[in-house]
Structure 1
Amino acid sequence: MRTVLTILAFAAVFSVGAMGGGTARAEDRLALVIGNSDYAIGPLANPVNDAGLMARSLTEAGFDVTQASDLGYRDMQRAVVHFARRLAASGPDTVGMVYYAGHAVQAEGENYLIPVDADIQDALDLEIQSLKIDTVMRSLESAGNRLNLVVLDACRNNPFPAVSRSGTRGLARVDAPYGTLLAYSTAPGEVAADGTDRNSPYTAALARTLRTPGLPVEQVFKQVRISVMERTGNRQVPWESSSLTGDFYFFPPAEPAPPVVAAAAPAVSAEPDRSAEIAFWNSVADSGDKVQLESYLQAFPDGLYAPLASAKIAALGQAPAAPTAPAAPPAPAAAPSHPYDGTWRFTWEVESGFAHSDWCRAGESGSQDLSIRNGRFKGDMRSEKGGRADLKIQISDGGSATVETYIGSWGYYPRRRTVLNVGEGSGWGSISAPSGNSCIARMELVRLN
């Protein structure tokens, strides 16, 4: 039989993958909250206040919150890297969230978070002195956890005239990676208000709305959008990009009360129905035939007339026949082996990539036979050029499989997960480098026996 596992989704370097959560808080929850107000170019009134409000709200929702304020460039870098490593160490079931309030700008289609010590004279300074939102997203994505939320209350007016001439208003549109929801305080290309109160309209609405029990995360942000539009007279329209495939709740629905079951009335013991036994005995009692008397004993060894039947048989000079012993129960069937155990062939070939890496040259490929036992394989993945990665495959009884790779030469970067389902044909996945580049590869897992 030839069975092919087709790749349905892939993870690239710095990616956080994941499905949505259930109704219980069984998963760990980690959050990084940053508010930058004290800018050298001129302070903002509310980001530090907004970060404090969001940190308190997320703590109430069960998040372990790391809060930071007025960070320079190096400290912002360290905060993001440290958080991504904590997220990876916490395990694949962890939910992660990053919240940022402060200045952010776009130039040449790229979005940048601005540290408080930035001195931006032109677009080149942006590259050197600020943090790309794409870098933050990819840093999170590397953790391999199941779900991430990224919230940016950061689309205020561009404070850098030189960059304003080369850029546009607000931030550029970014599509959320698989398993991620990305939320902006206003639509791409627009600017958001800092707010005249202690908090921005967006953060105030989000902190209030996420406390609603049983409200899915997508509905939380929909309600926030409605609130902000009403508050600003439709001048500010929050926007989200989501690739979540399941449900997540900041506060899960209340557990339903168990149904009240009336206590059962005590059972009334009743005499067993002996009509069949009495009829049988009446038919053999006066026969004087030991065979018929023995048949009664075999049918009713503890019957009402068993002593009398034994006495009659003894009187006839024949000991009663012993009741037939019940047949021994059949031996339990051996536990079936895992339905996907056997020999499989794993092949891959790079479709497009970058030439300086053995793993990502176009045309680079590999093929190897694997022995799946108890639905699992753990070993090496090797390219024909000599590249090596750890390879781990796990297949469920229903045919859903997870493939993880870990390229040790790339340091701490964690495993890349690829979700597989039973199907026909091959599928696409990606192999990625710490630089953020990635190559696209066609992968196939074929059963040989």
Structure 2
Amino acid sequence: MRTTIALLLAGLIAVCAGTTSRAADAAKLALVIGNAKYPDNEFVLNDAANDAQAVADELKRDGFVVDRQTNLTGDAMRQALDRFYARIERGAVALIFFDGFGIQSNRQTYLLPVDAQIWVEPDVSRDGFSLDAILAEMNTRGAAIKIALIDASRRNPFERRFRRYSAGLAPAIAPSNSLVLYSSALGAVAPTGKTDHSLFVAELLREMRAPSISAEQALTNTKNGVVAATNREQVPWLSSSLTTEFSFAGLVARPPDNATADPAPTKPAPQKPVCEVPQAEPTPSADDLARDPVIADLSRKIAANANDAVSRYKRGQVYAIKRAHTLAMQDFDAVIRRDPRDAQALNNRCWTRAATGDLQGALADCNLALQLDPGLSDAFDSRGLVNLKLGRTTEAIKDYTDAIQRNPRSSSSLFGRGIATRRSGGDGASNIALAKSMDPNIAKEFAGYGVTECVP
């Protein structure tokens, strides 16, 4: 994928002194991508496909020339971007909408094609497409206004292969005269499920259709609408450096110079009960596991080469993520027999044993992993879970704190420390709230380990 250094904005429509420029007559181009069918994900993202179609239809009504694409592989996504760049003229309005999976790595947000093969963090930049680079290329090609609408703040099947927490998306380094909107806050993920349409896109479409408001105000209203509808559990992120007047649905009604807008009222967040017991995800059936394409591919590699420790380790990770703990243990056992000093495998076995209740075995694995690699933050996080389940709250708080010092964005460590603090007689609410803002499903994940916010 080509990367480009962002250049200074060029080709703005000429303006008179003391007035704001307008983009009403500029060419308007859009690339709309809905990636719904990721083979590594356990279900199709129907909302991604449906929302991409709805956004494309709305943009066409607003006068955009739209290229709508679905389920793009890496090669196809690169080709679609190249076609998009080639159509951008000086002074144009260029917009990209992406719905699918995204990952942040090295403080950049990457949009993922459906055939991404990600097992370790360096794979992200190899297979993903940097949003920063996309915006920079739009600017270099002469776009006067750059808009990126990104609905990719989802917990995804790739990220948990190389980190124990969901890092959400990173802030975009956008050129001047840009608008960027994410469906959730930086570093956070939005609740996921098998839905036909997302709340974020529903709010976005309603505001895009509103006449006589600026594009910036439409996106601000979208953010406020999602915040109100979710009682502040989902807070989209908006970045604007727009200096040119532009409206999706028509001319902007300019307020008098002395007019000041009242802030949009927001509903107060309801008081939640101290103790919540979410329903843990069910363990998939043997048939579900057998149909999983990633497991099937790794199993074929292992069948062809019984000494393929890498594939066996990866399959163990997938089994563990899918809560097939017995099968995960078998794979991790085999990897550790071949290399008893594999700290990562020991950590994964510790985590799996902790989830199943083999706490003394888990503690031994985590202790050995940390002897072999004293800086392994995931092992501190895993041992924190073990100590928490053993009732050793002081030790759990220390382990989680050590993990957070190494990984401040670890929602797992923050949530665990909050629970341990609460069980030791402290508050812990701020840690729990921060963890939930980063990962709305974290309480459900811990419920799968047998840990809830209820104080015993």
Normalised to the residue count of structure 1, the TM-score between the two structures is 0.50
Structure 2: which amino acid aligns with 1:36? Answer: N
Listed as ranges, the matches of 1:129-278 within 5 Å are: 129-165=127-163, 168-194=166-192, 197-253=195-251
Distance 1:93 1:46, change over 3 A: same
- Write out per-residue CA displacement over residues 369-421 of structure 1, whole angstroms, 9 at most, x where no aligned residue: xxxxxxxxxxxxxxxxxxxxxxxxxxxxxxxxxxxxxxxxxxxxxxxxxxxxx
For residues 117 and 208 of structure 1, the distance between their equivalents in structure 2, rounded to whole angstroms, comes to 32
Whether the 8 Å CA contact 1:106–1:167 is kept in 2: the answer is no
For residues 255 and 110 of structure 1, the distance between their equivalents in structure 2, rounded to whole angstroms, comes to 36
For residues 167 and 232 of structure 2, the distance between their equivalents in structure 1, rounded to whole angstroms, comes to 17
For residues 92 and 51 of structure 1, the distance between their equivalents in structure 2, rounded to whole angstroms, comes to 26
Match of 1:25 in 2: 24
Q: CA deviation at 1:84?
A: 0.8
1:51 has 2:52 as partner: yes
User: Greater relative contact order (Cα 8 A, min sep 6): structure 1 or 2?
Assistant: 1
SS in 2 for 1:208: helix
Listed as ranges, the matches of 1:294-305 within 5 Å are: none
Structure 2: which amino acid aligns with 1:113? Answer: L
Structure 2: which amino acid aligns with 1:236? Answer: Q
User: Which structure 1 residue ranges, 4+ long, deviate > 3 Å from structure 2?
Assistant: 11-25, 161-164, 193-197, 253-256
Whichever structure has more strand as a proportion of its residues is: 1
Distance 1:120 1:27, change over 3 A: same
Match of 2:74 in 1: 73
Match of 1:36 in 2: 35
**Stretches of structure 2 lacking an aligned partner (at least 5 in a row):** 14-19, 255-456
For residues 79 and 65 of structure 1, the distance between their equivalents in structure 2, rounded to whole angstroms, comes to 12
Q: CA deviation at 1:141?
A: 1.8
Q: CA deviation at 1:22?
A: 6.0
Q: CA deviation at 1:135?
A: 2.1
Q: CA deviation at 1:52?
A: 0.2
For residues 192 and 119 of structure 1, the distance between their equivalents in structure 2, rounded to whole angstroms, comes to 23
Identity %: 32
SS in 1 for 2:87: helix
Structure 1: which amino acid aligns with 2:199? Answer: P
Whether the 8 Å CA contact 1:111–1:172 is kept in 2: the answer is yes
Match of 2:84 in 1: 83
Correspondent of 1:124 among 122, 125, 134: 122
1:107 has 2:108 as partner: no
Whether the 8 Å CA contact 1:31–1:63 is kept in 2: the answer is yes
- Write out per-residue CA displacement over residues 224-254 of structure 1, whole angstroms, 9 at most, x where no aligned residue: 0111112222111111111111211112238
- Write out per-residue CA displacement over residues 263-313 of structure 1, whole angstroms, 9 at most, x where no aligned residue: xxxxxxxxxxxxxxxxxxxxxxxxxxxxxxxxxxxxxxxxxxxxxxxxxxx
Structure 1: which amino acid aligns with 2:82? Answer: V
Q: CA deviation at 1:111?
A: 1.6
Q: CA deviation at 1:195?
A: 5.9
For residues 249 and 52 of structure 2, the distance between their equivalents in structure 1, rounded to whole angstroms, comes to 20
Distance 1:178 1:203, change over 3 A: same
For residues 66 and 181 of structure 2, the distance between their equivalents in structure 1, rounded to whole angstroms, comes to 19
Structure 2: which amino acid aligns with 1:30? Answer: L
Structure 2: which amino acid aligns with 1:45? Answer: N
Structure 1: which amino acid aligns with 2:38? Answer: Y
Structure 1: which amino acid aligns with 2:92? Answer: T
Whichever structure has more helix as a proportion of its residues is: 2
Whether the 8 Å CA contact 1:185–1:239 is kept in 2: the answer is yes
Match of 2:291 in 1: none
Q: CA deviation at 1:134?
A: 2.0
For residues 235 and 24 of structure 2, the distance between their equivalents in structure 1, rounded to whole angstroms, comes to 31
- Aligned CA RMSD, in angstroms, stands at 2.6
Q: CA deviation at 1:12?
A: 4.8
Match of 2:350 in 1: none
For residues 229 and 189 of structure 1, the distance between their equivalents in structure 2, rounded to whole angstroms, comes to 16
- Write out per-residue CA displacement over residues 177-227 of structure 1, whole angstroms, 9 at most, x where no aligned residue: 112111111110111234664211111111111111111111101110111
For residues 84 and 229 of structure 2, the distance between their equivalents in structure 1, rounded to whole angstroms, comes to 34
Distance 1:211 1:161, change over 3 A: closer
**Stretches of structure 1 lacking an aligned partner (at least 5 in a row):** 1-10, 257-449
For residues 10 and 194 of structure 2, the distance between their equivalents in structure 1, rounded to whole angstroms, comes to 37
Whether the 8 Å CA contact 1:107–1:166 is kept in 2: the answer is no
Distance 1:167 1:144, change over 3 A: farther
Whether the 8 Å CA contact 1:156–1:192 is kept in 2: the answer is yes
Larger Rg computed on CA atoms: 1
Whether the 8 Å CA contact 2:108–2:172 is kept in 1: the answer is no
For residues 115 and 44 of structure 1, the distance between their equivalents in structure 2, rounded to whole angstroms, comes to 13
For residues 194 and 127 of structure 2, the distance between their equivalents in structure 1, rounded to whole angstroms, comes to 29
